[in-house]
Amino acid sequence: MKKVEIALLGLGNVGKGVWNILKENKDEIRKRSGYDIEIAKILVRDKNKNRGIEIPEELITTDYNEIINDESIKIVVEVMGGIDPARDYILQAMNNKKHVVTANKMLLATYGDELGEAADNKGVMLYYEASVAGGIPIIQTINESLTANKIEQVYGILNGTTNYILSNMDNVGMDFSDALKEAQEKGYAEADPTSDIESFDAAYKLAIIASLAFGTKVKIDDVYREGITKITATDIKYAKEFGYVIKLLGIVKEIEGKLELRVHPTFVSRKHPLANVNDAFNAIFIKGNAVGELMLYGRGAGELPTGSAVVADIISIVRKGTDIEDYTTVKNNLWHKEIKSFDEVECKYYLRILVKDKPGVLGEITTALGRHDVSLRSVIQRGEEAEDVKLILITHKTREENIQSALKEINQLETVSSVENLIRIENL
């Protein structure tokens, strides 16, 4: 059997997943790739850390030169995460004619273009299926299976932690802080959950998907981002009452040549396939002008699902031949597409407003909305014991800047205690 040697950079969860899959599924991989794929070196920061996995000592190194200068190593697999030194390591690997597989969403969302160009200049392959949605083959699907389409819209549940939290809130009626605590206890959320609950993680993934799906450069700063921390049990309850479920969606649409990019909690009809994506699962829903509606669903994280995507990338490279002299990566700067300012985005809105229990309140609010061209589809006001009363409004479609300026005005009304929440509604 022919042999290909590879190196791992990093031995965290994903690195361990890759190691275990290459061992456990050796026979499958051998038959499908035609090669024995051997990990020849693993770069770590601390040689003596106990990782609960048995790996021959001579494979482990703290010196990247041992990898970069080893000509028998054909593929470098970066699973360390973060920008530095991952970016530099990858560029060095390409300089030395090594192909690269990476699972690094932050790096790709920030420097994806630079890495793609470097790969092309050096004629090496750059694969990164694992950077978005773990085991779900979304990159491959966009790059290979949807090439005959104008992709029009992509909606993704791209973060398992927040989907776990929101599913729990929806099922059990929990409040956000309790749901977060439970997710942390069960290991679904980190001790510092910021990257997940403030939607940084989902925004990185959306930027990568959008670049590929629309063949254009999307930077992480192009993505409007909002977290899930303001969602309450009350919002979930009203969403249900109106036939919706609240999901954290990454959304990209092309409308008249402009891209609209945003990650925020979203009302989704309970009848839509995305509404039934529960727990820590991820899903990506795509509309293309030929394929119609397509959804991919699966595990967006975890040692083995993410490892599955990394090893598939390694096998793709091995199958194409690691010795090809000038390989060209799939381009994501085929078109220049303008990014729409968030003010111009059009949505329907759910509003939860705390008002004083006085006559004429609703009238004042609808008048203020009307002044900014915002009209209402539904209103719920229920008398309660408290002095303040909850007013739940669902608007018709309007522009973001209209709703925001209307809300500024409403916030200043004497009869309004506060605008408690605004959640966007998508009719997928």
Please identify every residue annotated as catalytic: 205
**29 touching a second copy, by CB under 8 A:** yes
Sequence-separated (6 or more) residues with CB below 8 Å from residue 240: 170, 270
Size of interface with a second copy, in residues (CB under 8 A): 54
Q: How would you class 102 by CB atoms within 10 Å of its CB: exposed for 0-12, middle for 13-18, buried for 19 or more?
A: buried
Binding region for a second copy (CB under 8 A) out of 5-13, 66-74, 144-152, 238-246: 144-152
Q: Within 158-232, where are the H helices? A: 160-172, 176-185, 194-197, 200-213
Q: Residue 56 corresponds to which tokens in the numbers above?
A: 């021959």
Nearer residue to a second copy within complex by CB, 193 or 298? 298
Task: Provide the minimum distance between the beta carbon of 242 and a second copy in the complex, in angstroms, as a whole number.
Answer: 19
Nearer residue to a second copy within complex by CB, 21 or 368? 21
Q: Which of 1, 148, 191, 386 binds a second copy (CB under 8 A)?
A: 148
**299 touching a second copy, by CB under 8 A:** yes
Give the C-alpha separation, 397 to 409, whole Å: 19
Task: Provide the minimum distance between the beta carbon of 21 and a second copy in the complex, in angstroms, as a whole number.
Answer: 5
With contact defined as beta carbons under 8 Å apart, do 62 and 26 qualify? no
Task: Provide the minimum distance between the beta carbon of 157 and a second copy in the complex, in angstroms, as a whole number.
Answer: 12
Binding region for a second copy (CB under 8 A) out of 47-55, 142-150, 188-196, 365-373: 142-150
Residue with tokens 């309660």: 384
With contact defined as beta carbons under 8 Å apart, do 220 and 235 qualify? no
Angle in degrees, 0-180, between the axes of helices 303-320 and 13-24, rounded to the nearest 10 = 60
Q: Which of 9, 10, 104, 129 binds a second copy (CB under 8 A)?
A: 129
Task: Provide the minimum distance between the beta carbon of 340 and a second copy in the complex, in angstroms, as a whole number.
Answer: 20
- Among the listed residues 254, 330, 332, 259, the one whose alpha carbon sits nearest the alpha carbon of residue 287: 254
The vertex-221 CA angle with 217 and 225, nearest 5°, equals 120
**255 touching a second copy, by CB under 8 A:** no
Q: How would you class 42 by CB atoms within 10 Å of its CB: exposed for 0-12, middle for 13-18, buried for 19 or more?
A: buried
Binding region for a second copy (CB under 8 A) out of 7-15, 82-90, 288-296, 393-401: 288-296
**302 touching a second copy, by CB under 8 A:** yes
**251 touching a second copy, by CB under 8 A:** no
Q: Which of 32, 186, 358, 371 binds a second copy (CB under 8 A)?
A: 32
Give the C-alpha separation, 401 to 395, whole Å: 14
**137 touching a second copy, by CB under 8 A:** yes
Residues 257-286 binding a second copy (CB under 8 A) are 273, 276-277, 281
Q: How would you class 49 by CB atoms within 10 Å of its CB: exposed for 0-12, middle for 13-18, buried for 19 or more?
A: exposed
Q: Which of 38, 114, 144, 190 binds a second copy (CB under 8 A)?
A: 144
Q: Parallel, antiparallel, or unpaired for β 388-395 and 376-381?
A: antiparallel
Binding region for a second copy (CB under 8 A) out of 72-80, 85-93, 139-147, 244-252: 139-147
Q: How many CB atoms lie within 10 A of CB 30?
A: 14
Residues 324-363 binding a second copy (CB under 8 A) are 331, 334-335
Q: Which of 28, 38, 241, 357 binds a second copy (CB under 8 A)?
A: 28
**167 touching a second copy, by CB under 8 A:** no
Q: Could you list the residues that contact a second copy (CB under 8 A)?
A: 17, 21, 24-25, 28-29, 31-33, 129, 135-137, 140-141, 144-150, 215, 273, 276-277, 281, 288-299, 302, 304-305, 307-312, 314-316, 331, 334-335
